[in-house]
C-alpha cells in the first residue's frame, strides 16, 4: 500500500469515527433533554393536581363534585409508573365533570377567590398540555435516532432504552377559556 491509500483509509476512518462520536453525543443530549422535559411535565402535573385540590377544598363546589375532584387529584398525585397516565386522564375527566356547567363557572368567576382558583386551574391545565406536547416531541426525536440502523448495530445508545411517550387525556373544560396563565 502506498502513502496515498493509507492517508485515504485514515481519512475515511476519521470521518466515520467523527460521525459516530457526533451521533452518540447527539443521542446523549437527547436523553438529557428527555429527562429534563419529563421533570418539567411531572412538575406541571403536580401543579395541576394541587390546583384541583385547592378548588375542591375551597367550599365553592357542591360536595359531590368536590369529593370526586379531590379524589382524582390525590390519586393522580400519588400514581406512578404505568398507572400515572390513567390517573392523570381521570383527573382531566374529573375537572371537566366538575366544571361542565357554564353557570357554575360564571358564578365562580364572580367570586374573587373563585376566579383566582379557576385561573390557577386553567393555567395549570394549559401548562400540562404544553409540557406533554414538548415531552412527546423530544421523545419522538430520541426514538427516531434510536431507530437508526447504525445506532442499533453499534449500540451507540448503550443500555439506555428508547423513551416512551406520555399519553393522557389533557383536554381542559371549554368553560374556563379567558383566564390568564
Q: Is residue 181 part of a domain?
A: no
Q: Give, for 95, the enclosing helix (H) or strand (E).
A: helix 83-98
- Residue 152, pLDDT > 50, answer yes
- Residue 179, pLDDT > 50, answer no
What is the C-alpha to C-alpha distance for residues 31 and 20, in angstroms, rounded to an integer? 17
**Could you give the C-alpha distances from 61 to 47, 51, 76, 124, in angstroms and in order?**
20, 14, 20, 19
DSSP state at residue 72: H
Q: Is residue 16 part of a domain?
A: no
**Other Cβ atoms closer than 10 A to 85:** 17
102: its cell numbers: 357554564
Q: Is residue 132 part of a domain?
A: yes
Contacts for 127 with CB less than 8 Å, ≥ 6 apart: 44, 47, 48, 181
- Count Cα neighbours of 16 within 13 Å in the Cβ-side half-sphere: 9
51: its cell numbers: 390546583
Q: Taking a C-beta distance cutoff of 8 angstroms, is the pair 105, 99 a contact? A: yes
127: its cell numbers: 401548562
- Residue 180, pLDDT > 90, answer no
Q: Is residue 122 part of a domain?
A: yes
Q: Is residue 109 part of a domain?
A: yes
Q: Is residue 72 part of a domain?
A: yes
What tens digit of pLDDT does each residue of 61-94 get? Answer: 999 999 999 999 999 999 988 899 999 999 999 9
Residue-range definition of the domain harbouring residue 169: 46-176
What tens digit of pLDDT does each residue of 88-141 get? Answer: 999 999 999 999 999 999 999 999 999 999 999 999 999 999 999 999 999 999
Q: Is residue 5 part of a domain?
A: no
What tens digit of pLDDT does each residue of 13-52 get? Answer: 999 999 999 988 899 999 999 999 999 999 999 999 999 9
Residue with cell 377559556: 177
* Domain count for the chain: 1
Q: Is residue 172 part of a domain?
A: yes
What is the C-alpha to C-alpha distance for residues 125 and 171, in angstroms, rounded to an integer? 8
Helices (H), 57-82: 63-78
pLDDT value of position 154? 84
pLDDT value of position 174? 83
Amino acid at each position: 500500500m502506498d502513502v496515498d491509500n493509507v492517508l485515504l483509509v485514515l481519512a475515511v476512518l476519521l470521518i466515520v469515527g467523527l460521525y459516530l462520536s457526533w451521533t452518540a453525543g447527539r443521542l446523549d443530549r437527547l436523553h438529557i433533554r428527555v429527562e429534563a422535559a419529563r421533570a418539567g411535565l411531572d412538575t406541571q402535573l403536580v401543579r395541576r393536581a394541587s390546583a384541583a385540590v385547592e378548588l375542591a377544598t375551597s367550599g365553592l363546589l357542591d360536595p359531590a363534585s368536590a369529593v370526586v375532584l379531590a379524589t382524582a387529584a390525590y390519586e393522580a398525585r400519588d400514581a406512578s409508573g404505568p398507572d400515572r397516565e390513567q390517573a392523570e386522564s381521570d383527573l382531566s375527566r374529573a375537572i371537566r365533570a366538575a366544571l361542565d356547567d357554564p353557570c357554575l363557572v360564571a358564578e365562580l368567576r364572580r367570586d374573587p377567590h373563585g376566579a383566582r382558583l379557576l385561573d390557577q386551574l386553567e393555567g395549570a391545565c394549559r401548562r400540562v398540555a404544553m409540557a406533554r406536547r414538548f415531552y412527546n416531541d423530544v421523545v419522538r426525536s430520541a426514538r427516531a435516532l434510536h431507530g437508526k440502523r447504525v445506532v442499533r448495530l453499534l449500540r451507540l445508545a448503550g443500555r439506555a432504552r428508547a423513551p416512551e411517550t406520555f399519553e393522557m387525556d389533557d383536554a381542559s373544560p371549554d368553560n374556563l377559556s379567558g383566564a390568564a396563565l
